[in-house]
Amino acid sequence: MQQHDGPLSRLRRGHEELVLDLLRRNGPLSRGELGARCGLSRTTLYDIVGVLVANGAVVVHAPEATRRRRGRPVERLALNPGAGQAIGIDFARRAVHVAAVNVAHEVVGTASHPHGPGLPLAERIGIAERLVAGLAGDSLRLAALSAIGVGVVGPVPSAPGRPAAKTESDDQSATSVAPDADRTVTPDGALPPAVPDREALARELRGLFGVPVLVDNNTRLAALAESVWGTAAGERDVLYLRLSHGVGGGLVVDGGLHRGAHGLSGEFGHITVDPGGRPCECGGTGCLETVASVGAVLEAHRAAGGTAGDIAEVTAAARAGREPAAGVVASAGHHVGTALAAVCNAVGPGVVVIGGELAAAGDALTVPVREALAAGVLPFSRPLLDLRPAALGEVGAALGGIALVLHRSPLLSRYPQAPDSGEDR
Amino acid sequence: MQQHDGPLSRLRRGHEELVLDLLRRNGPLSRGELGARCGLSRTTLYDIVGVLVANGAVVVHAPEATRRRRGRPVERLALNPGAGQAIGIDFARRAVHVAAVNVAHEVVGTASHPHGPGLPLAERIGIAERLVAGLAGDSLRLAALSAIGVGVVGPVPSAPGRPAAKTESDDQSATSVAPDADRTVTPDGALPPAVPDREALARELRGLFGVPVLVDNNTRLAALAESVWGTAAGERDVLYLRLSHGVGGGLVVDGGLHRGAHGLSGEFGHITVDPGGRPCECGGTGCLETVASVGAVLEAHRAAGGTAGDIAEVTAAARAGREPAAGVVASAGHHVGTALAAVCNAVGPGVVVIGGELAAAGDALTVPVREALAAGVLPFSRPLLDLRPAALGEVGAALGGIALVLHRSPLLSRYPQAPDSGEDR
């Protein structure tokens, strides 16, 4: 029988979930008290509890001597306060970011370390290891770690012949990635070289930490994080756009990370907004990325006679209303709104979140975005538009790695083969 | 305790599913045999079976006298062969379509009846009732009907203050609809008048047939149907575009119908493709619908000196390569491909399905669509593009109504409040 397949294994996962939830809400319970609350047979309950104890999710409290009554002492079961910890790691282009949550799924720490472009992956993994060890010293017990979620640059398409990973059912299916490709897309349109591919990266980290590793595109993970801990916390349909050196994003659909059939969703940066415009790295023409990336805005600013040296200066000037920065940012914002309108008509998100370095321009960016967006969506969608700046900053994708892991429930992913039947009494 | 909420009610749904699956795979079983296979306590199992019998999903076979042994006779439980039947009804602009499936979820019949525009809803419901009765005479036992899925014209936004219905968890939440609005959008951008709203329509049909009624936009339902029974059967991520008097569509995401936060997804017809173009009914400018609807193509054909009277003649001429039809259809196809490229970059569907009257033009339409689509998507998405003509024709939305019902499991939707605990022995 396949794991995660068929009503019986779904049912067993439901049993686990129920037992964990009862312990979460009631505190420690005896097996008898648990049984009275969950409707499972003794045999099934003992079986489920046995697995949860073996997993480390549940601990058995020895009875206190003074509380003993007649017969055998009554053990009490409780959630393991050290279980359920998870780590997120983002291997960004020029930095490694890590974040960790405790069993209550509260963020207990984040850390970042910048590095030069093109650093070999082995060294970046070393940085990640040291950052995690630093967090562990404070509040994280690595022995209780459940899983790691990892963000990488570039698309995470599905491997040939396999469907793309699905958030709910198939997060651990093999997909290949290009974690250190410097560009999302090669000019000839081929997939970037998968060096090392997702499998190798996951294997490496699994070897280091001894827990399951899930990998996804880091911009998509940032989208997920904004919907879990960020500006769109609690929203179930979120469009996240990141205006950085590259332009990309992610969709959260009905509370889960959307990947698309081939793992190629959220490529908002390659929507055509200027058909007669300039060539894009991707091989296309007039893509949003050619007019709304950090590089494009800096170049337009220089071309307009501006003298600022970096994007922080340009966005600050735009915020202050100084030209040519304000005009350059407004033009980028107009194109952003146009591209987003097409996507909003198609997918109808509840919240649109804008992140990346350009978002620092504030209203200088978002007012023209909102105008173009309103002009391009169905009129009765206009009053429903909800545009917000991203809240999580540079550790967003690392947090998203954790969200990916929590959505997938690492405890369950280590669940052994479901037996074909339980015996009643 | 909320229905469909929390691990306990999910668990109870899992129990039902398990019992039904065991009976499906094993044939009739005694309660003891069921208990031995499902791991539930006697109390819980009797409870679950009681509900399934009350629902009509399971029937109790009286023991045969010759098989009696010692003690009480052993009843055997079996699936009710008449249960699980479902009906789909599409209240289209100028026709009513119905379809029905049996307990094995095989389509047992479809029927259509055209009518003039603006026919009052009461008369259209009357038509639906007669069509359903016609099907019932053949292969459908109305007494065993489980639920009805209904398609309506126009957007199905969520009611104020309530989240939009979600395919998996919340299909029966209230949303209002405009089943006989002649246009999707009113020129002033207001929501079309909700006469009668979804609640009233559902109430009416519920009164007639005595079963739960689910309502959604009929183009979205056609999208769902193509992914279940049509050209994209078995695909989990499908983009469906309908080029008819209106231009609209739907997204199937990870096997479920995508609705978006406000129930306003799939509005591909209102993506801007010609910013300097003509005004659209929706209040926008240069929407896809202004260049690729049946009306727009007929008008362009006339303007180019064509003499054909209806869209079937124009698409036939385009198929045969005759000008000006071929050029007019190619131009529409180019705009379709441009709009679809933006959506494909955003959501990455596995299959793009094109339906509606214009699809009859065949390659005269799809070749330019494919060209513009390939030019607009990320280069490494190009070899993955899979464009197919719709397969289900005019009954697609009625079939989609059934798919909506089956996804939602009508048996479970009639499940009573989940009790807070079962008692174990």
pTM recorded for the entire structure: 0.75
* β-strands B29-30, A256-257 pairing: unpaired
Task: Provide the strand spans (E) within B172-283.
Answer: 213-217, 238-243, 247-253, 256-257
Among the partner-chain residues B41, B377, B381, the one whose CB lies closest to the CB of A41 is B41
Cβ atoms < 10 Å from Cβ of B307: 9
Q: What is the pLDDT of residues B313-356, one digit of tens each?
A: 999 999 999 999 999 999 999 999 999 999 999 999 999 999 99
CB contact under 8 A, B40 and A44: yes
Among the partner-chain residues A37, A377, A422, the one whose CB lies closest to the CB of B421 is A37
Q: What is the pLDDT of residues A334-353, one digit of tens each?
A: 999 999 999 999 999 999 99
Nearest CA in chain B to A384: B262
How much is the pLDDT for B142?
A: 58
How much is the pLDDT for B186?
A: 38
Give residue for tokens 């209102």: B270
Task: State the nearest Cα–Cα gap between A168 and chain B, in angstroms.
Answer: 9
Q: Which of B247, B254, B268 to probe by mutation at the A interface, max A CB count within 10 Å?
A: B254
Cα-based distances in Å from B70 to A132, B31, B33? 67, 17, 17
Q: Which pLDDT band holds residue A57 (cuts at 50, 70, 90)?
A: confident
Helix (H, G, I), strand (E, B) or coil at B190: coil
CB contact under 8 A, A380 and B271: no
Distance CA A424, CA B38 (A): 8
Task: Provide the strand spans (E) within B39-94.
Answer: 58-61, 76-79, 85-91
By the 8 A CB rule, do A299 and A332 touch? Answer: no
Token readout for A193 is: 């070289």
How much is the pLDDT for A19?
A: 84
Residue A14 has pLDDT above 80, yes or no: no
Q: What is the pLDDT of residues A214-251, one digit of tens each?
A: 999 999 999 999 998 899 998 999 999 999 999 999 99
The residue among A252 and B117 whose pLDDT is bigger is A252
Q: Which pLDDT band holds residue A27 (cuts at 50, 70, 90)?
A: confident
Helix (H, G, I), strand (E, B) or coil at B388: strand
Distance CA B150, CA B131 (A): 14
How much is the pLDDT for B7?
A: 62
Give residue for tokens 């321009």: A361
My answer on whether omega of the bond before B120 falls inside 30° of 0, hence cis, is no
Give the range among A54-63, B117-126, B255-264, B348-357 with minimum mean pLDDT. Answer: A54-63
Nearest CA in chain A to B160: A384
Q: What is the pLDDT of residues B247-260, one digit of tens each?
A: 999 999 988 889 88
Q: Which of A216, A190, A218 has its CA nearest to residue A281?
A: A190
Q: Which of B20, B41, B51, B168 to probe by mutation at the A interface, max A CB count within 10 Å?
A: B41
Burial of B120 (0-12, 13-18, 19+ CB in 10 A): exposed
Residues in chain B within 8 Å Cβ distance of A42: 41, 424-425
Domains of chain A, start order: 6-80 (1.10.10.10), 85-218+397-411 (3.30.420.40), 242-391 (3.30.420.40)
Provide the percentage of residues in chain A whose pLDDT is more than 90: 42
Task: State the nearest Cα–Cα gap between B320 and chain A, in angstroms.
Answer: 31
* Beta strands across the sheet bearing B58-61: B29-30, B76-79, B58-61
Q: Which of B184, B259, B256 has its CA nearest to residue A347?
A: B259
Q: What are phi and psi of A389, to 5 degrees?
A: -75, 145
**Chain centre to alpha carbon of residue A63:** 41
Q: Is B254 left (phi over 0), alpha (psi -120 to 50) or beta?
A: left
ipTM: 0.74
* β-strands A256-257, A247-253 pairing: antiparallel
How much is the pLDDT for A201?
A: 87
Residue B184 has pLDDT above 80, yes or no: no
Q: Is A393 left (phi over 0), alpha (psi -120 to 50) or beta?
A: left
How much is the pLDDT for A398?
A: 95
Q: Tell me how many degrees the CA angle B122-B125-B126 measures, rounded to the nearest 5.
A: 90
Residue A168 has pLDDT above 90, yes or no: no
Query: Which residues have a Cβ under 8 Å from the Cβ of B278 and sit 6 or more positions away?
Result: B285, B286, B290
Residue B86 has pLDDT above 60, yes or no: yes
Give the range among A120-129, A307-316, B156-165 with minimum mean pLDDT. Answer: B156-165
CB contact under 8 A, A43 and B43: no
* β-strands B247-253, B256-257 pairing: antiparallel
Distance CA B180, CA B173 (A): 21
Q: What is the pLDDT of residues A109-164, one digit of tens each?
A: 899 999 988 888 889 999 999 998 888 665 555 556 778 999 998 766 554 333 33
In A51-83, which positions are buried (b, 16+ CB within 10 angstroms) versus exposed (e)? bbeebbbbbeeeeeeeeeeeeeeeebbebbebb
